[in-house]
Structure 1
Amino acid sequence: MADPILQPFQLKHLTLRNRVMITSHEPAYSEDGLPTDAYRAYHVERARAGIALTMTAGSAVVSRDSPPAFGNLLAYRDEITPHMARLAREVHDEGAAVMIQLTHLGRRTRWDTGDWLPVLSPSALREPAHRAYPKVLEDWDIARIISDYADAAERMKDAGLDGIELESYGHLMDAFWSPRLNHLDGRYGAETLETRMAFSMDVLRAIRARVGDDFIVGVRFVADEDIKGGISATEGQEIARRLRDSGLVDFLNVIRGNIDTDASLTRVIPLQGMASAPHLDFAGELRAQTGIPIFHAARIPDLSTARHAIAAGKLDMVGMTRAHIADPHIMAKLLEGREEDIRPCVGANYCIDRIYQGEKALCLHNPSTGRELSQPHKIAPTDTPTRVTIIGAGPAGLEAARVAATRGHQVHLLEAAPQAGGQIRLTAQSPRRREMLAITEWRVAQCEKLGVRVQYNTYAEAEDVLATAPDVVIVATGGMAREGGLETGSDLICSAWDILSGDVKPEGDMLIFDEAGDHAGLQAAEFAAPHARSIEIVTRDRAIAPEVMGMNLTPYIRALQHSGAQMTITWYLSHVTRTGNRLTAHLVSDYSDKIETREVDQVVVNQGTTPLDDLYFALKPQSRNLGEMDYHAFLAGQSQKIIKNPDGQFDLYRIGDAVSPRNTHAAIYDGLRLARSL
């Protein structure tokens, strides 16, 4: 039986070669609002690997008073046309179609970016996520923006794209539709669904007048806001029918939920620990009711789910966007019969969380994504294979082993534990984050295929390393929870790692001092919540866990609020004393001389990690380079040539947390860059 996702789909005059697409999203690789080389390379890579349709921009803004919120392309600039034309040509050359999403962000942005113009909306209600109070649209604003949409669409047709998609969820267009957000009167007012849809219909008519009928136009729209006073599912169905009946729209891309806050955004774009494909049935019902081509994406992470979506008739095109951020070669591996080699998306949402902090989208465990020009996804073989010994089978060591073996080196991997994973195994102690294990499990499987020799239960000493007769030694031993740091009472506390590993059982009233502000402190609190009588999280920072970005913060806060945990900012732990059978935690602040105390049963600290570097320093005198790394060569992808000790037996490097505490992406990126240059 033919694979349903490999069947072509006819969208008007356009034949799409299969049923898998990348939905519109903004990776923020643009330069000055233009899709230059890095942006283009990102989309071309996925087109080359067999995707049917790649949708650029999430979203490209059509007006100057739609200031870019997260690296948006600027579709109001004439200069964008030649850049999009080159992108379209190169994607087409690889056999894929390409479209772009256009929008006016409305209130989903800030006034203090771009040209510092006021944000706009059909009401003065601000969006909590971006906090700007909008100007209420006037008639001349509406007329101008309709013209801006048409101008932008014409630019995209001139660039040779196959079509456009209008964004209508959380932005300006659906704010007109929503009873809770449209406070206007008259032609575009809130009185009826017809008046609420008048703006979008005028936009569509203006676009069609410019681009004609032989250019594909779709709408990505919210068919159920899932919020009091918002667009209901019943009303969403009627909107879909009216868009279909207008004859102006060729496809609908279905969204369910609202994106006003980080918490609601996680229900629209679920992350790890949440259900896969939660809105697939809803999209399928809309397809059955309307008969118009339906696209949809919301945590469809694997080909099995995608197959079901198509085979069951729920979708015409299935979006696998984050999955293709993790592995751009999904379709190529499917066609080559190598589904088991697909690098899995673990739902960490590192990609999305970064763009909402104004950074480029990066995959937690594929550091080549977004770096296609400097770190190609395919690893070239070496002409001079050597013997490489790696100590530590955490993310950094496993990546170094995978890449070195792919290049053709003989790799020997030593790991102290009975299994691979490093700190990932601690992370996975929380059921909600168990998917993180796939980061190391995938690499273990790849290393086995590549013939990497792995020795578990080997706490390597210098002589164990020397016994492997290495030409290159890479120390990837990671770190351990940082201890001490208090004026007194360090012997009375335990670490977040102690709680997560089960070495210390949570009990009674617990105070968690979170100095590092990363996942470990919150995870220990979430892990302990069912067992402790009370929990208070204290941080010196002005916000809880600043290293845990918005969408990842949401499930922690949700769980901790449910358990009644208290969160205290701008205080830090000075020292701990014993008072009878209890502990007294002494808290001080950078903002005043005030001192507070807490009587608790348990004090837990999260102070980051300390590198496990004893082995590195033991080996350093016997190495040719004395552990030194040429950063210029490292960053340029060139081989290391430092020789400080001509009598040395091997080159020595360390990576990941064995150097300094960072994160999983940094550790894997270290392993990739170093091993690629060996």
Structure 2
Amino acid sequence: MIGHTRYPHLFAPLDLGFTRLKNRALMGSMHTGLEEAEGGFERMAAFFAERARGGVGMIITGGFSPNEEGGLGAKLSTPEEAARHRVVTEAVHAVDPQVKICLQILHAGALADTAACVAPSPVKSRIGRFTPNELTEEGIEKQIADFANCAAMAQQAGYDGVEIIGSAGYLISTFLVERTNRRTDRWGGPWENRLRFAQEVVKRVRATVGPNFIVVFRIPAMDMLEGGLAWDEVVSLGKAVEAAGASIISTHFCWHESPVPTIATMVPRAAFASVTGRLRREVGVPVITSNRINMPQVAEDVLSRGDADIVSMARPMLADPELVLKAAQGREDEINTCIACNQACLDHAFDGRQQVTCLVNPRACFETELKYLPTAAPKRIAVVGAGPAGLAYATVAAQRGHRVTLFDAASEIGGQFNLAKRVPGKEEFHETLRYYRKMIEVHGIDLRLNTRVDADALQAGGFDEVIVATGITPRQPQIEGIGHAKVVPYIDAILGRKPIGRRVAIMGAGGIGFDVAELVTHSGPSAAQDIDTFAREWGIDFQNHPRGGVTGVPRQVAAADRTVYLLQRKTDPVGRHLGRTTGWTHRATLSARQVQMVNGVEYLRIDDAGLHTRVHGEPRLFEVDTVIVCAGQTPQRALHDELQARGVKSTLVGGAFEAAELDAKRAINQASRLAAEV
């Protein structure tokens, strides 16, 4: 295959002695929520089988606790529970017997969602619900035995191995660092005591499963936390778990409570791989690296530099289950790239109220429900608007065999994505548009840009279905002076159509307001595109690897020479309703740039003096020379209404259907599901 010459390292097999991985592409662990869902194991079977069919060499499941006290949900500790997993392992091996699937053993420790949670010391995590119960000597022995039993149950269930997670602030990692391990017995104090628990877990697991079973240990290679592990401790731990029987070491970066982003789209691709490479030179077993490796060339570059033996891609396999297969066939431009937005995956996982899926691929985790089957009755379909919803509808419908004409008044596809891609830290949106451009070509969609199609043309066009994806119109607040020369709509601000002054008020602090604030305060290279800039901005020292990997000095954030006020009407804290796993990073960045975030604002008027308001009832004048309006949007439905008035059936999708808080996740999901049924 083409990819075997283009990506020789990625497609090289890896001999583990007792077994072999067919390539170096790993689908890393990610809790999907299917672990606890009704019918979840059958759905997991379909989910993982589709990734196995897509060419990956090894899969690691979401986390399963070895006992009740270690749980965030799913547990594996009995033969009855093991039997439920059989449908998963058999589905994967039926697709390709060469694909290895390993179960992740995740004991959450102080982060477990139960008052029975345990830890080496009763130190509450900043993000945990409960203060953990301090383990006794007998309790420690029970935890070790439960890890070994969980591995035995995984083996019984047909898994090829297990991954033991020893990082992220979960149980094993809390034994390793002094801030959470305050014991004075043989499990605490000096480093050789603090690493004992991790070593004993691996040793006991290996003794239980025998020599011909994969045992991966996920090591905290860089905690991204003051008081975390020093580099010599990381190396010592790696050698200790290797000696205890680990087949592979997987590097992990950051505790969940770390104030450093490691997985958001603002993180450069493969930013942490050099740390893995440093550890790889210290140990004798294969090493896995991870984080923001989302395309085959990125993976190949990491492997060719010697920074890892295996590359983990978790979210990228949500976005495109055929990523590896497409690389092998030379179809890289058809890959639906993970943009690391986290909106439908990690935000859903940590929220716990919605099923994990993917913004750019709503089939992820819904494989048994959302199917793009060939149509038996092809239709002629007009899709008006080539934003996210229109693109999703057009490509799914065309993939199924319908004849699709896609209209847009603009000169390029993308709609609001063309704004997002201009915001520093959101450059990955270019990849989504590249993917859709290729899908338009692959599926033979008749694309008509620079075409403002009207109801007459659609009615005369002989279409069986008309899909109106005309998007939104920015809302203009009805206040005195809204037409003043210093007022700039957010679209003009992002596209650079109007100059922005030195003192700026941004009306509206939703996602668009934050994007605009990022854009107008940014100076220099984008940290998402430059690892050195990213490291300076977040206080990471990749070269010297101080304890925890962080410098402990104030962040060095280059900012434009502007005074910026980010204003909102609501009295909630500004930014509270941003994404759960990424919102804090945006707030932290703007705070570092001295952006003043003000809530409880009532807008009164705009004049030569600036923006007149009341803040929490008190009069306040913001003396600014630019007012950027990010005050929401309204659906653009005029075409739909005219078609309906003429008796022409049309269907609204995306922002034209629901414009509140522009939501590409909702738009793509809605459009894809409608197109799957047409």
Q: Structure 1-normalised TM-score?
A: 0.87
2:45 to 33, 40, 63: 40
Q: 1:469 to 1:32 in 2, by over 3 A?
A: closer
1:506–1:531 contact (8 Å) kept in structure 2: no
Aligned ranges 1:174-213 → 2 under 5 Å: 174-190=173-189, 192-213=190-211
Structure 2 match to 1:227: 225
| Structure 1 residue ranges without an equivalent (≥5) | 111-115, 589-593, 624-647
Tell me the residue number matched to 2:391.
398
Contact kept in structure 1, 2:380 and 2:464, CA below 8 Å? yes
Instruction: Pick the aligned partner of 1:611 from 635, 642, 664.
Output: 635
Aligned to 1:631: none
SS of 1:521's partner is helix
* 1:636-675 correspondence to structure 2 within 5 Å: 651-661=649-659, 662-675=662-675
Report matched runs for 1:617-632 at 5 Å.
Answer: 617-623=641-647
Tell me, yes or no, if the aligned pair for 2:333 and 2:438 is still in contact at 8 Å: no
Matches of 1:179 and 1:366 in 2, distance apart?
Answer: 42
CA contact (8 A) 1:179 1:231 kept: no
Q: Corresponding residue for 1:499?
A: 493
Aligned residue number for residue 139 of structure 2: 141
* 1:292 aligned counterpart, secondary structure: coil
- CA 1:124/1:5 → structure 2, altered by over 3 Å: closer, same or farther? same
Amino acid of the residue matched to residue 506 of structure 2? I
- Dislocated runs of 4+, deviation >6 Å: none
Distance 1:214 1:407 in 2: 44
Instruction: Assess if the C-alpha contact under 8 Å between 1:67 and 1:117 holds in 2.
Output: no
- 2: CA distance, partners of 1:164 / 1:137: 24
The 1:34–1:109 alpha-carbon spacing in structure 2 relative to 1, beyond 3 Å, is farther
Q: 2 CA distance for matches of 1:154 and 1:579?
A: 73
Counterpart check, 1:54 vs 2:54: no
CA shift for structure 1 position 32: 5.5
Q: Is the 8 A contact 1:284 1:315 kept in 2?
A: yes
Q: Give deviations 1:502-560, integer Å, cap 9, x for gaps.
A: 3444335433343xx63101111222232532324335152333442133224422331
Unpaired runs of 5+ residues, structure 2, are 522-559
Letter in 1 for 2:605: T
Mapped pair 1:563 → 2:593: yes
The answer to whether residue 520 in structure 2 is matched with residue 528 in structure 1 is: yes
| Alpha-carbon shift at residue 285 of structure 1 (Å) | 2.3
Superposed displacement of residue 495, structure 1: 4.3
2:604 counterpart (562, 565, 576): 576
Please say if 1:409 is aligned against 2:402.
yes
| Alpha-carbon offset, residue 244 of structure 1 | 1.7
1:30 is the counterpart of 2:43: no
8 A contact 1:297–1:318 mirrored in 2: yes
Equivalent-residue separation in structure 1 for 2:623 and 2:131 (angstroms): 43
2:574 is matched with which residue: 528, 531, 544? 544
**Identical counterparts, % of pairs:** 25
Whether 1:457 aligns to 2:450 is: yes
- The 5 Å alignment of 1:156-175 reads 156-170=154-168, 171-175=170-174
Partner deviation per Cα, 1:635-673 (whole Å, 9 max, x = no partner): xxxxxxxxxxxxx5xx41110110112511211122212
Q: Distance in 2 between matches of 1:568 and 1:556?
A: 15
Cross-structure match for 2:415: 422
How far residue 287 of structure 1 moved from its aligned partner, in angstroms, is 1.7
Secondary structure at the aligned position of 1:36 is classed as helix
Deviations, residues 397-452 of structure 1 (Å, cap 9, x unaligned): 11111122222222211111111111111112213212213223311221123222
How far apart are the structure 2 equivalents of 1:34 and 1:231?
Answer: 41
Corresponding residue for 1:255?
252
Read off the aligned partner of 1:61 and give its amino acid letter. S
Alignment of 1:211-290 (within 5 A): 211-246=209-244, 248-261=245-258, 263-264=259-260, 266-267=261-262, 269=263, 271-290=264-283
Change (3 A) 1:260 1:102: same
TM-score, with normalisation over the residues of structure 2?
0.87
Q: How much is the aligned-residue C-alpha RMSD, in angstroms?
A: 2.4
Equivalence for 1:636: none
Output one character per residue of 1:197-249: Cα deviation in whole Å (capped at 9) or x when no partner: 22122323332343222322221011232433221112111111122223x22
Task: Return the offset for 1:489.
Answer: 5.6
Structure 1 residues 35 and 449: CA distance shift in structure 2, 3 A: closer
Which sits farther off after the overlay, 277-286 or 166-175?
277-286
- Return closer, same or farther for 1:452/1:399 CA change in 2, 3 Å cut-off: same
CA contact (8 A) 2:610 2:623 kept: yes
- Code of the aligned partner of 2:668: I
The number of residue pairs the alignment matches comes to 625
1:497/1:520 contact within 8 Å kept: no
Note if 1:20 corresponds to 2:25.
Answer: yes
Match of 1:101 in 2: 104
Q: CA-to-partner distance for each residue in 1:69-123, whole Å, 9 max, x for gaps?
A: xxx421245542112122111111122111011121112244xxxxx42433223
CA contact (8 A) 1:395 1:440 kept: no
State how far apart, in whole Å, the 2-side matches of 1:82 and 1:656 are: 42
Mean CA deviation greater in 193-202 or 529-538:
529-538
User: What amino acid sits opposite 1:519 in the alignment?
Assistant: G
Shift of residue 614, structure 1, vs aligned partner: 0.3
Task: Choose between structure 1 and 2 for higher RCO, CA contacts under 8 A separated by at least 6 residues.
Answer: 2
Aligned-partner residue type, residue 181 of structure 2: N
Shift of 1:384: 1.9
Instruction: Please state whether the residue corresponding to 1:223 is helix, strand or coil.
Output: strand
Q: Tell me the distance in 2 between the aligned counterparts of 1:675 and 1:399.
A: 8
Paired amino acid for 1:383 = A
Query: SS at 2:256's partner residue?
Result: coil
CA distance in 1, matches of 2:252, 2:36: 29
Cα distance in 2, alignment partners of residues 465 and 428 from structure 1: 31
SS in 2 for 1:5: coil
Q: Following TM superposition, by how much is the alpha carbon of 1:330 offset from its aligned partner in structure 2, in angstroms?
A: 1.5
Is the CA contact (8 Å cut-off) linking 1:352 and 1:361 kept in structure 2? yes
After TM superposition, give the deviation of residue 498 of structure 1 in Å. Answer: 4.2
> How far off is 1:33 after superposition?
9.1
Q: In the alignment, is the contact (CA less than 8 A) between 1:42 and 1:370 conserved in 2?
A: yes
> Once the two structures are superposed, what CA deviation does each residue of 1:585-612 show, in whole Å capped at 9, x if it has no partner?
1234xxxxx4453433244443322011
Cα distance in 2 for residues equivalent to 1:254 and 1:137: 27
- 1:124 and 1:605 map into 2 onto residues whose CA distance is 49
Question: Is the 8 Å Cα contact of residues 199 and 240 (structure 2) preserved in structure 1?
Answer: no
